[in-house]
């Protein structure tokens, strides 16, 4: 692995800073509707996307800010989208759940759980037909594995050997539902086995582990070996959305997971091997927060779309 650790740290800190700012945005009345923080899951987004080629495609979920940031989406335009401004990626029509940047092959966050299975595998089918070297990575949560579309799409991806990576972020909660109560199989990868895909499990709190797994999977998918499946175990530190009282889970459970905080883990590893100093870490952390603040300041200055724009991009 090339020495990407500082890059990992920078991007994870940026995602942490972005999603940590969401409650403030609500409190200030700057955003409405739903937005879903992926605090605790940064290593999955960053490890996975960094292992791809820039021309590869990514599909995302309702909990997708981290995926977009890892792919390289501009923070000001992302913030502007959350704030409903004209310069937002979706010109204020999508909001948090639909961040997309086709300019960097980020095919969008989807508000329908499991909605991106088909979009990802279909994009992979097109890439195969058009003889492209690029591949597609689909992020989804463990809750989405109970959508019937997974069986249909993964089966077709397997019979046609499509260049797609199914990356399951097992954050242990689908709103309030836990996989041990909702999944009939013990291991997440057993679901993939059912359609003939040998999945692997990775520690989703360890960015290097995720990177290595996706790097290898991407090489296989690119070489025509067909779909790959990775289950990354992580944890949703916060509620389903901002304001979720989380009566369904024990705070002691979250505390245990917080000890494995992906950013803290990487920081500890780098400190212990003298690859980073405390000062440098603080600099990176401050820079991430400043970046989020600057993006917010710029976005908050940007105009809202004129009401006439509700009628744009309409054809039927």
User: Which residue lies nearer to another protein by CB, 116 or 170?
Assistant: 116
User: Which residue lies nearer to another protein by CB, 47 or 95?
Assistant: 95
* φ and ψ at residue 179, rounded to 5 degrees: -60, -30
The residues that touch another protein, with contacts defined as CB under 8 A, are: 57, 59, 88-94, 98, 100-103, 107-108, 110-112, 115, 117-127, 129-130, 136, 148-149, 151-153, 155-156, 159, 312-316
Residue 311 CB contacts under 8 Å (≥ 6 apart), including other chains: none
Q: Do 58 and 137 touch, CB atoms closer than 8 A?
A: yes
- Please, what is the minimum distance in Å from the beta carbon of residue 92 to another protein? 7
User: Which residue lies nearer to another protein by CB, 122 or 204?
Assistant: 122
User: Which residue lies nearer to another protein by CB, 126 or 176?
Assistant: 126
Measured at the alpha carbon of residue 88, what is the angle toward residues 87 and 89, in degrees to the nearest 5? 120
Q: How does DSSP assign 194-240, residue by residue?
A: TTT---EEEETT-HHHHHHHHHHHHHHHHTT---EEEEEE----S-S
- Please, what is the minimum distance in Å from the beta carbon of residue 62 to another protein? 13
User: Which residue lies nearer to another protein by CB, 123 or 296?
Assistant: 123
Q: What residue spans of 109-147 are helical by DSSP H?
A: 115-129
- Please, what is the minimum distance in Å from the beta carbon of residue 102 to another protein? 4
User: Which residue lies nearer to another protein by CB, 120 or 205?
Assistant: 120
Q: How does DSSP assign 246-273, residue by residue?
A: -TTS-HHHHHHHHTT-HHHHHHHHHHHT
* 171 sits in which H/E element: none
246/60 Cα distance (integer angstroms): 24
- Please, what is the minimum distance in Å from the beta carbon of residue 161 to another protein? 12
- Please, what is the minimum distance in Å from the beta carbon of residue 20 to another protein? 26
- Please, what is the minimum distance in Å from the beta carbon of residue 117 to another protein? 7
- Please, what is the minimum distance in Å from the beta carbon of residue 313 to another protein? 4
| Residue among 17, 61, 8, 2 nearest 205 (CA) | 8
Q: Using N-to-C axis directions, what is the helix angle for 5-20 and 262-272, rounded to 10°?
A: 150
User: Which residue lies nearer to another protein by CB, 41 or 105?
Assistant: 105
């Amino acid at each position: 692995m090339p020495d990407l650790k500082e890059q990992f740290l920078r991007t994870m800190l940026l995602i942490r800073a972005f999603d940590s700012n969401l409650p403030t945005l609500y409190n200030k009345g700057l955003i409405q509707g739903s937005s879903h923080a992926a605090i605790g899951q940064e290593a999955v987004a960053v490890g996975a996307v960094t292992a791809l080629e820039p021309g590869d495609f990514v599909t995302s979920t309702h909990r997708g800010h981290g995926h977009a940031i890892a792919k390289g989406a501009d923070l000001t335009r992302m913030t502007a989208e959350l704030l409903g401004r004209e310069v937002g990626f979706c010109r204020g029509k999508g909001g948090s759940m639909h961040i997309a940047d086709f300019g960097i092959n980020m095919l969008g966050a989807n508000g329908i759980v499991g909605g991106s299975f088909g979009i990802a595998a279909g994009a992979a089918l097109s890439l195969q037909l058009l003889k492209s070297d690029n591949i597609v990575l689909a992020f989804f949560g463990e809750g989405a594995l109970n959508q019937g579309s997974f069986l249909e799409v993964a089966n077709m991806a397997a019979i046609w050997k499509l260049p797609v990576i199914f990356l399951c972020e097992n954050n242990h909660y689908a709103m309030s539902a836990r996989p041990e109560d909702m999944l009939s199989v013990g291991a997440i990868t057993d679901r993939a086995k059912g359609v003939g895909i040998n999945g692997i499990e990775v520690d989703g709190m360890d960015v290097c582990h995720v990177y290595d797994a996706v790097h290898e999977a991407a090489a296989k998918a690119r070489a025509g070996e067909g779909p790959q499946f990775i289950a990354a175990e992580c944890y949703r530190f916060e509620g389903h959305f901002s304001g979720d009282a989380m009566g369904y889970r024990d705070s002691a459970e979250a505390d245990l997971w917080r000890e494995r905080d992906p950013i803290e883990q990487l920081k500890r590893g780098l400190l212990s091997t003298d690859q980073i100093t405390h000062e440098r870490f603080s600099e990176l952390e401050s820079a991430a927060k400043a970046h989020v603040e600057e993006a917010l300041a710029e976005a908050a200055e940007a105009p809202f779309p004129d009401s006439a724009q509700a009628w744009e991009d309409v054809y039927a």
